[in-house]
Amino acid sequence: MRNKHVFYVILSFFMVIFTAMIGYFVWYVQFNAPKAINSSYNMRQNDLERQVIRGTIFSAKGEILAEEAMNSQNVEVRYYPYNELFAHAVGFSTHGKTGVESAANIELLTSNAPLGERLQKEMDGLRNYGDNIYTTFDADLQKAAYDALGVYKGAVIAMEPKTGKILAMVSKPDYDPNTVSENWAAISRDTDNSPLVNRATQGLYPPGSTFKIVTLLEYIREHPDDYENYSYTCKGKMNYDGVDIECYHRSVHGSEDLRESFEKSCNCSFANIGTLLGIKKFSGTAGDLLFGKTIPTDLAYSKSSFVLDEESGSEEILQTAMGQGKTLITPLHMALITSAIANDGILMRPYEIEKRTNYLGELISETEPKKYKTLMTEKEAEILTDFMVGVVENGTGKRLKGLSYSVAGKTGSAEYGTIKGNSHAWFTGFSNVEDPELVVTVIMEGAGSGGDYAVPVAKRVFDAYYKR
């Protein structure tokens, strides 16, 4: 009887182990296998490249962004008709893979041609056609963003807050993906310009005054019933605990409430607000907005950072509250925060791949808009939107006032380096405020004031969107 009991215990143990293994296998196939297959370290991809003609990448409207073609020497090459325009968004497929070429690599190398055709070609030793990818990119909007950024280093992102669709993604300096192979040595060693870096998703910048959105949200959370009673008198500079703070160009803003402090982007007032906040709560709000967290994208990206804690000194607190210090953010992350504000606090998962078809155009799969996370309450989003409208109507974003469409936004001038006055120009905002349609985020390295430089770039992108 004892031996029988031991037998059942052992049998039960192995059944639990077996069930767990089956459960893990199902989970892995469902969630991790596609990532593992798509990994650049997976040697299976080399076999697929010998068996399959890489699929074509299209824009949202069907323009070809990348395809297999024969060059003048009758050698098969990857051809990018738009040259530099989609360099970082679409990427390249030699010397590794980037952009959509990387994100959809396994799909482009998988053939869903009719079964009989596939089998026949395999028997004949011929390559099948890989599946095609239709992106969410709008070629006209991409060109508008590219042209608007001009000669500046930086990035522009345009996306739909209600769906998460990325319509445009520009990063400069860039390169011609058609000549990556022959120019690889020079491009990869160019550390001054880093043209291979997608600044939209990988560039980490001090957010400057755009971070005042986060500081404002925290102050509202800590003072939900009396935030409208806040007041401060700006003299253009302040000293707190031995730390000197100045407003941009030492502008004297005078007596101002919270709304005016935000509209005028008053550094002194927001540094003062930093002294009134609970640092642990502030850090929690930054975490809610995905600082230091995973960003929902299948493109290569950098994590933003917020390093304030209860051990931080006065200078770090004051600088952080107004968007300086050690806080760093990517343009994509800034666009996601803005999208959540525009979408009643809900962040939709951003995506750049609309659908997948076989080479005959038959639908294989399609991306459906999907909620990622609630970053703030609907009420908080409403208040932030109202303050951002004030920036355009009365403050540093006035160049976007009085257009055929309405805009809510925030400018930023983020100081960097050791030379006082050097600053990156920021803008982030959204159009058609009552029923938000488009988020645009701009960063221009070393340009100066966000209101003077980044806002006009955003305006050209908004204009192009409404002229489509």
Give percent above pLDDT 70 in the chain.
Answer: 91
Q: Bigger pLDDT: 371 or 28?
A: 371
Query: Which residues constitute the domain of residue 461?
Result: 208-354+372-466
Q: Bigger pLDDT: 420 or 299?
A: 299
Confidence tier at 365 by pLDDT (50, 70, 90): very high
Q: Considering the domain boundaries, does residue 289 fall inside one?
A: yes
pLDDT for residue 129: 96
Question: Is pLDDT at 369 greater than 80 in this prediction?
Answer: yes
pLDDT for residue 1: 54
Q: Considering the domain boundaries, does residue 264 fall inside one?
A: yes
Question: Quick one: average pLDDT of 61-89?
Answer: 96
Question: Is pLDDT at 416 greater than 90 in this prediction?
Answer: no
Question: Quick one: average pLDDT of 395-420?
Answer: 90
Q: Considering the domain boundaries, does residue 49 fall inside one?
A: no
In this structure, are strands 57-58 and 132-135 parallel, antiparallel, or unpaired?
parallel
Q: Considering the domain boundaries, does residue 194 fall inside one?
A: no
CATH of the domain at 447: 3.40.710.10
Question: Quick one: average pLDDT of 286-306?
Answer: 96
pLDDT for residue 269: 97
Q: Which of 37-41, 127-131, 319-323, 418-422 has the lowest mean pLDDT?
A: 37-41
Question: Quick one: average pLDDT of 300-321?
Answer: 95
CA–CA gap between residue 468 and residue 464 (Å, rounded) = 6
Q: Which of 250-254, 351-355, 368-372 has the lowest mean pLDDT?
A: 250-254
Q: Considering the domain boundaries, does residue 23 fall inside one?
A: no
Q: Considering the domain boundaries, does residue 388 fall inside one?
A: yes
Domain total of the chain:
1
The total of other beta-carbon atoms located within 10 Å of residue 265's CB is: 29
Give percent above pLDDT 90 in the chain.
Answer: 84
Question: Quick one: average pLDDT of 53-74?
Answer: 96
Confidence tier at 59 by pLDDT (50, 70, 90): very high
Q: What average pLDDT does the structure give for the chain?
A: 92
Q: Which of 21-30, 101-110, 125-134, 239-248 has the lowest mean pLDDT?
A: 21-30
Question: Is pLDDT at 29 greater than 50 in this prediction?
Answer: no
Question: Is pLDDT at 53 greater than 80 in this prediction?
Answer: yes
3-class DSSP string for the chain: CHHHHHHHHHHHHHHHHHHHHHHHHHHHHHHHHHHHHHCCCCCHHHHHHHHEECCCEECCCCCEEEEEEECCCCCEEEECCCHHHHCCCCCCCCCCCCHHHHHCHHHHCCCCCCHHHHHHHHHHCCCEECCEEEECCCHHHHHHHHHHHCCCCEEEEEECCCCCEEEEEEEECCCCHHHHHHHHHHHHHCCCCCCCCCHHHHCCECCHHHHHHHHHHHHHHHCCCCHHHCEEEECCEEEECCEEEECHHHCCCEEEEHHHHHHCCCHHHHHHHHHHCCHHHHHHHHHHCCCCCCCCCCCCCCCCECCCCCCCCHHHHHHHHCCCCCCEECHHHHHHHHHHHHCCCEEECCECEEEEECCCCCEEEECCCCEEEECCCHHHHHHHHHHHHHHHHHCCCHHHCCCCCCEEEEEEEEECCCCCCCEEEEEEEEECCCCCCCEEEEEECCCCCHHHHHHHHHHHHHHHHHCC
What's the predicted TM-score (pTM) here?
0.90
Residue type, 234: C
Question: Quick one: average pLDDT of 227-238?
Answer: 96
Q: Considering the domain boundaries, does residue 9 fall inside one?
A: no
pLDDT for residue 38: 56
Confidence tier at 254 by pLDDT (50, 70, 90): very high
pLDDT for residue 24: 57
Question: Is pLDDT at 33 greater than 60 in this prediction?
Answer: no
Q: Bigger pLDDT: 115 or 17?
A: 115
Question: Is pLDDT at 39 greater than 60 in this prediction?
Answer: no
Structure-token pair, residue 243:
């730390």
pLDDT tens, position by position, 92-135: 999 899 999 999 999 999 999 999 999 999 999 999 999 999 99
Q: Considering the domain boundaries, does residue 134 fall inside one?
A: no
pLDDT for residue 140: 98
Question: Quick one: average pLDDT of 447-455?
Answer: 95
pLDDT for residue 422: 84
Q: Bigger pLDDT: 107 or 39?
A: 107
